[in-house]
Each structure stands twice: as C-alpha cells, then as structure tokens.
C-alpha cells in the first residue's frame, strides 16, 4: 500500500509569479494525476514583466532535500529545470546518482525562447558534460539545441543532424522544440528522436499570444508525469505536446504582460 500512488520530482527554481519553473511543474503534475515533490534549487523574484532578483539555495540544503525525499517517497520519474550555477548542477548530479528517483527528463534551461543566455559558461559546461548524459529525455528549445549541438539549424535536415549530436552527448531521447519565424509560417514543428532510432515530427499551430510563460517547463513536467505512469516515451512526448498546445490556445487572463499558460484547458 505505501507509496502506491505515482510520485514525481521537480528539481528546479521557484518562480514567484507562478507561471514558470517549479510552480509550472507542480501545476502540470497535478493535472496529470501524479503527486509532485520538489527539490528547490533557487528562488526567482519576478512577475509577468520580468525577473528582478534571484538567490540560490545552499548545497547542504539541497542535499537535505534529496535525502528527505529518498527516506520517505517512491519517486518514479524526475525532471530538472533551472540550475543556476556549476556547483549546483554538480550537487544535483551527485544526488541523482546516489538515489533512485527514476528516469530523468532534462529541460536544459540555458536560453530563453528568444535566444538570451540564462546560464554562465562554467555552469553550461557542467550541464553539458555531467547532467545531459543522465537524461532519459532532453527537451531543448531551438536555441539551446543549436548551442548544445554546436551548429546552426536552418532546415529540417539540420534539425535531424542536431538531434543526433545531442544523442551523442548521452541523452537517450531528444525533442527539439521548433522556432516560430515571424511572417514566414504559423506552424511550429517539434522534432523527436528516440533511443530506438525512430523519429517523428509534431506539428502545431503558432498562437499569437503573450501568455506563454512556463511552456517549456510544462512540456517537460508532462513528459515526466507520463513516464511515471508507465506511458511509452513516444506517447509521453505526444501527450505532453498536446497538453501544452491546448494550454497556450485557451488563454487565461492572469497578469499584465507575459502571462501563464492555461493548465485547465481541455
């Protein structure tokens, strides 16, 4: 009986406005009927206009969070989000290797959807060399994929080559989230390359809305939940993509500027 209910873990930063980071993960876990636990790595103060301050948690505190969860819970799948610096990434890697917290979904929070860097160079190297090799699923956006694969992506063929390079870094399965090119097309294409070598595209409409905060966090959190429930990786990714599509399409009115997606959308 103990610990029969599917439990998942987010290892991420807290976003005070509730739209992204750990809060988006927890909304998503809830909507996918999984119980969400959290290892908080950093706290961000911000709102829909932007991020205004952040602090990292001490290593000893993060170690204690992992230990407390390992002592009591049965985590079936985990995900990482914002990991502010190299020491923090190393701490997460050590703890993840020490305990059994299931398959790991790595959302490499390196760059925003608009291409701005969120991680300093030393942290980037640690993420690439130590965390990504642990990934069951890696979920970079277009810019993160370009940076990690060390190449420009200008075509579908390029996307496929980049995904293979990300697999060569050690990630078992990869989804590269597509870029919207203003004025060119209103379709966004995500590319999935599975461990088996099978690959597929997921195409969806581009929605002209500013309520898109937490999109990447929610996609990776939904994949994590589905994996915990025993869904195949391919289906977990499809279900997660569909969830995020609906959550963007059915906008809710919260905050003034770059608002959250709608987790209740059906």
Nearest approach, Cβ of 6 to ligand PXL (angstroms)? 23
Counts of helices then strands in the chain (DSSP H, E):
8, 9
Contact residue for ligand PXL among 21, 102, 103, 108 (CB under 6 A)? 21
Q: Does 217 bind ligand PXL (CB under 6 A)?
A: yes
End-to-end Cα spacing for the chain? 32
Give the side-chain half-sphere CA count within 13 A for 49.
Answer: 3
Residue with Cβ nearer ligand PXL (52 or 67): 52
Q: Does 163 bind ligand PXL (CB under 6 A)?
A: no
Question: Which residue is associated with the tokens 């699923």?
Answer: 137
Q: Does 259 bind ligand PXL (CB under 6 A)?
A: no
Q: Does 39 bind ligand PXL (CB under 6 A)?
A: no
Q: Does 20 bind ligand PXL (CB under 6 A)?
A: yes
Cβ atoms within 10 A of the Cβ of 229, count?
A: 15
Residue range at the interface with ligand PXL (CB under 6 A); choices 9-17, 168-176, 197-205, 241-249: 9-17
Residue range at the interface with ligand PXL (CB under 6 A); choices 195-203, 213-221, 224-232, 248-256: 213-221
Using DSSP's 3-state secondary structure scheme, residue 208 falls into coil
Q: Does 36 bind ligand PXL (CB under 6 A)?
A: no
Q: Does 202 bind ligand PXL (CB under 6 A)?
A: no
Site for ligand PXL in 73-112 (CB under 6 A): 81-82, 109
Residue with Cβ nearer ligand PXL (40 or 252): 40
Using DSSP's 3-state secondary structure scheme, residue 60 falls into helix
Residue 97 and residue 237: Cα distance in Å, rounded?
A: 24
Identify whether the C-beta of residue 137 lies closer than 8 Å to the C-beta of residue 103. yes
Task: Kindly calculate the radius of gyration of the chain based on its CA atoms and give it in whole angstroms.
Answer: 17
190, containing H or E segment: strand 187-193
Q: Does 44 bind ligand PXL (CB under 6 A)?
A: yes
Q: Which residues pair with 106 in a beta bridge?
A: 80, 138
Nearest approach, Cβ of 117 to ligand PXL (angstroms)? 13
Which stretches of the chain bind ligand PXL, using CB under 6 A? Answer: 12-13, 15, 20-21, 44, 51, 81-82, 109, 214, 216-217
């Amino acid at each position: 009986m103990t610990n029969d209910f599917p439990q998942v873990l987010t290892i991420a930063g807290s976003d005070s406005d509730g739209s992204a980071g750990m809060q988006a993960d927890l909304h998503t876990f809830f909507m996918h009927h999984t119980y969400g636990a959290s290892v908080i790595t950093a706290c961000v103060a911000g709102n829909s206009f932007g991020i205004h301050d952040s602090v990292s948690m001490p290593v000893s505190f993060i170690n204690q969070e992992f230990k407390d969860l390992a002592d009591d819970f049965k985590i079936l799948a985990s995900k990482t989000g914002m990991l502010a610096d190299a020491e923090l990434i190393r701490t997460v890697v050590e703890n993840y290797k020490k305990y059994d917290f299931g398959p790991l979904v790595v959302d490499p929070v390196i760059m925003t959807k608009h291409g701005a860097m969120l991680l300093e160079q030393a942290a980037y190297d640690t993420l690439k060399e130590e965390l990504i090799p642990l990934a069951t699923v890696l979920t970079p956006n277009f810019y993160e994929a370009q940076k990690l694969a060390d190449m420009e992506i200008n075509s579908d063929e390029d996307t496929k080559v980049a995904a293979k390079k990300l697999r060569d870094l050690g990630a078992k399965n990869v989804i590269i989230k597509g870029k919207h090119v203003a004025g060119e097309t209103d379709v966004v294409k995500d590319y999935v390359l599975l461990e088996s070598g099978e690959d597929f595209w997921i195409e969806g409409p581009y929605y002209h809305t500013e309520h898109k905060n937490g999109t990447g966090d929610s996609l990776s959190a939904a994949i994590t939940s589905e994996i915990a429930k025993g869904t195949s990786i391919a289906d977990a990714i499809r279900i997660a993509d569909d969830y995020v599509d609906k959550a963007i399409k059915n906008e809710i009115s919260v905050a003034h500027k770059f608002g959250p997606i709608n987790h209740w959308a059906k």
